[in-house]
Amino acid sequence: MVPNLVTCQSDAVAATATVTFVAERLRTTARVTLGAGVAPTLLSIARQHGVPILFTCEVGGCGACLVRVVPATDATQPVALTDSEEFLLPVLARQSVSTGKGEEPRSPAGCLRLACQYVVGPGEITVAFSDAMAAG
């Protein structure tokens, strides 16, 4: 089964950012163009366009908005981890290993990130998330 997609595009001053949200039950498509100097988080883009990523605190403390970010090409520069992510992501990765899901914070299949902390930069990424208990 091919998951449904939501694609958001951001035209910045010097580069374009394309974000594709992937989840099993996702049914909508949204595109957004951002003006110069705008640097939204994945969660803010998702909320603006009805993408049902679960969230609670919005400050990187709870881990509810955990997503997997996969760059489309090697040319897409990774976005630096925030202090909250540096603290919480290893804990969440260990937790999923103990539940048998075997997640690693950085793997060939992408990086685990917090949607509320990930500020979208230039390049193309796919954001995979579980919408089984999604917000909205």
pLDDT tens digits, residue range 56-102?
999 999 999 999 998 888 877 778 899 999 999 998 887 654 444 54
Among 13-17, 49-53, 80-84, the minimum mean pLDDT is found in 13-17
How far is residue 5's CA from residue 52's CA, in Å, rounded to a whole number? 12
Q: Is residue 81 part of a domain?
A: yes
Residue 135, domain member (yes or no): no
In a domain, 136, yes or no: no
In a domain, 73, yes or no: yes
Asked whether the beta carbons of 56 and 48 are under 8 A apart, the reply is no
Q: Where in the sequence is the domain holding 9, given as residue range(s)?
A: 4-128
Tally of domains within the chain: 1
pLDDT of residue 120: 86
- Say yes or no to pLDDT of 11 above 70: no
Mode of pairing for the β-strands spanning 16-23 and 123-128: parallel
Would the pTM of this model clear 0.85, i.e. be above it? Answer: no
Q: Cα 83 vs. chain centroid, distance in angstroms?
A: 17
